[in-house]
Amino acid sequence: MCADTMKPATAREVVASLHDATFDELPSLIERYTDDPRSQIRQAVARAQKRLLAMREERDRVLGMYELEHELSHGGVALGVDEVGRGAIAGPLTVCAVALPYKPIIWGINDSKQLTPLKREALAAQIAEHALAIGIAHIEPASIDAVGMAVAIRMGMSQAIESAGIDADVVLIDGNPVIVHPREVTLVKGDARVASIAAASIVAKVTRDAMMVAYGEDYPEYGLESCKGYGSAQHIAAIKEKGLSPIHRVSFCGNFLETPRLF
């Protein structure tokens, strides 16, 4: 059938195409249908314009994370480091170090706390596929009890950096100075500002969450699969009733037991 005799797209088809279009497809679709007189399509175009604006702002946000990393590394290799589980009362402190290439850009990357579990899982898979290096370290509860959280964080970061096995031009760490690497640079809220630190926060979170779900099968009374070892009401009530499991941090649980102990 020649183009002149093709049946025009229905309003439903146009609305669907605008709804499903990718970032690259949206501008031309909006331009094509912006003067269409049909009310359904006018409304769909307006929604598409708002979506395109939001997508551009999101892409600018992610590009800014890569640009800051490029600036801090002077165009070299940056190793981003972050931890999860600092405030938990059960389970390990998990630290991750990630080096990312500057291409391909991993769109949507962000501080893991700003992402849904499904989004974190999807991004973690992309990070694993494209990363130049990934290092992970777990500091177990007994070690945290023995040395305290500040030392545990330094231990975990040192181990994760070594595990990554890459000679980075700069080691970018979320938070305040830790003094674990001679080329260390720290940034407050770095997990929301620098791509490799965000990647480290995502991988650390996904890795530790999976561990806590597995621990939930071993110690089902504590609800670890949902609280991930943090002090939820259900978790604290279970500690008061059942006592501590081998994966609890004794030094964190003194307020919940008359005589804190490990079984």
Q: Using CA of residue 170, residue 156, residue 165, residue 101, what is the dihedral sign?
A: negative
Q: What is the pLDDT of residues 116-128, one digit of tens each?
A: 999 999 999 999 9
User: Model-level pTM?
Assistant: 0.88
Q: Determine the pLDDT at residue 144.
A: 97
Cα gap 140→81, rounded to integer Å: 18
Q: Which residues of the chain have pLDDT under 50?
A: 1-5, 260-263
Please, which residues have CB within 8 angstroms of residue 180's CB and are 6 or more apart in sequence? 154, 157, 158, 161, 171, 173
Residue type present at position 218 = D
What is the three-class DSSP state of 136? Answer: strand
pLDDT of residue 247: 96
Alpha helices in the chain (DSSP H): 11-20, 26-33, 39-72, 117-130, 141-147, 149-164, 195-218, 224-227, 233-242
Pairing of strands 93-99, 78-84: antiparallel
Neighbour-count burial of 218, counting CB atoms closer than 10 A to its CB (0-12 exposed, 13-18 middle, 19+ buried): exposed
Q: What is the pLDDT of residue 23?
A: 86
* Measured distance CA(65)–CA(195) in Å, rounded: 5
Q: Is 76-214 a CATH 3.30.420.10 domain?
A: yes
| Contact by Cβ (8 Å): 184, 197 | no
| HEC assignment per residue over 195-206 | HHHHHHHHHHHH
- Each domain of the chain, given as residue ranges in start order, spans 3-70, 76-214
Confidence (pLDDT) at 8: 63
